[in-house]
Amino acid sequence: MNVIKKIKSADPEDVSAEEALKAAMSQMEAEIIRLDPDKSANDEASWQERKSAQTRLAILAAAVECLAKHGYAKTTTQQVAATAKISRGAMLHHYATKSELIASVIEYVFYRRMKLFFGEITRLSEERRRDVTGGVEVYWNWVQTPEFDAFLELSIASRKDAELGEIFETRAIELDAYSFDQIPIFFPEWKAVSKETLRLANDLIVAAIQGLYTNRQIITDRKRRTAVRDLVSKTILMLREGEIDLN
């Protein structure tokens, strides 16, 4: 997994928690920059490079907007071009085929989701990071975004397309592994817990929160949704404290 580069600090005892956190955050920012489709922002790029990156970003953002708003089935290249306020020719210049565009959109959506995850996790105060409900809240907020809606659309579309499926799956596993590795760094209470238990806790949150969101048409009552999230939080807490007898 090339995404996950361990922090170089020798021992957790040596560095303070604060320093480790800062190191993790700067490393995460570096990772985000690495995935940034607009490489031109940093380097001293030529005019053409900057212009190209700019329109490509506009196209990708427009595609996400279309996917989130109209769904995959109704998203056409013309729609995207119109939303990005460029001509179909310009669109074709940057992305020769539709699947080429979609492939790039997949990469872009994962980049955006990574960035949003970073935003959510750093928004939490240290106190909230010691509270399990903080973790569940991160995932719940993470899911209520246009990027996640686009992600969902691409997810189901990729499942029926071998080519896109491979790209999507690769990025999905990558992002899952990455966000998983951030947990013990940002949520210190989990450092003592075994990898398997942490994995289980993460899987439950991911599945339950995503299922809760996608079932929002059926589970319409806000109280019911809150109750489920609270229950998940309590389960996770008990799991962490070893109060649940596994196997």
Residues that bind DNA (CB under 7 A): 46-49, 51-52, 54-55, 76-79, 86-90, 92-94, 96-99
- Angstrom CA distances, 150 to 108, 122, 158, 216, stand at 11, 23, 12, 16
Instruction: Tell me the closest approach of the beta carbon of residue 164 to its own copies, in angstroms.
Output: 11
By a kind-dependent CB cut-off of 5 to 8 A, residue 38 interacts, out of its own copies, DNA, none, with none
Instruction: Tell me the closest approach of the beta carbon of residue 152 to its own copies, in angstroms.
Output: 7
Please tell me what DSSP assigns to residue 41: G
Binding track over 135-174 against its own copies, x by CB under 8 A: -----------------xx-xxx-xx-------xx--xx-
235 lines the binding site for its own copies (CB under 8 A):
yes
Quick one: 119 or 211, whose CB is closer to its own copies?
Answer: 211
- CB contact at 8 A, 148 and 142: yes
Instruction: Tell me the closest approach of the beta carbon of residue 172 to DNA, in angstroms.
Output: 24
Quick one: 9 or 87, whose CB is closer to DNA?
Answer: 87
Residue of the chain from 50, 70, 115, 128 that contacts its own copies (CB under 8 A) = 70
Quick one: 48 or 220, whose CB is closer to DNA?
Answer: 48
Quick one: 55 or 210, whose CB is closer to DNA?
Answer: 55
Characterize 108-144 residue by residue with b for buried, 16 or more Cβ atoms within 10 angstroms of its Cβ, and e for exposed: bbbbbbbbebbebbeebeeeebebbbbbbbbbbbbbe
Nearest in space to 186 (alpha carbons), one of 236, 120, 115: 120
CA atoms within 13 A on the CB side of 169: 9
Applying the rule CB under 8 A, the residues between 206 and 225 that interact with its own copies are 206-212, 214-215, 217-220, 224-225
Nearest in space to 117 (alpha carbons), one of 188, 32, 215: 32
Q: 3-state SS string over 62-81?
A: HHHHHHHHHCCCCCCHHHHH
200 lines the binding site for its own copies (CB under 8 A):
yes
Residue of the chain from 4, 33, 92, 227 that contacts its own copies (CB under 8 A) = 227
Assign residue 85 a region (left: φ > 0; alpha: ψ between -120 and 50; beta: otherwise): left
- CB contact at 8 A, 198 and 190: yes
Give the distance, in angstroms, between the CA of residue 65 and the centroid of all CA atoms in the same chain. Answer: 16
231 lines the binding site for its own copies (CB under 8 A):
yes
232 lines the binding site for its own copies (CB under 8 A):
yes
Residues that bind its own copies (CB under 8 A): 69-74, 152-153, 155-157, 159-160, 168-169, 172-173, 176, 196, 199-200, 203-204, 206-212, 214-215, 217-220, 224-225, 227-228, 230-232, 234-235, 239, 244-247
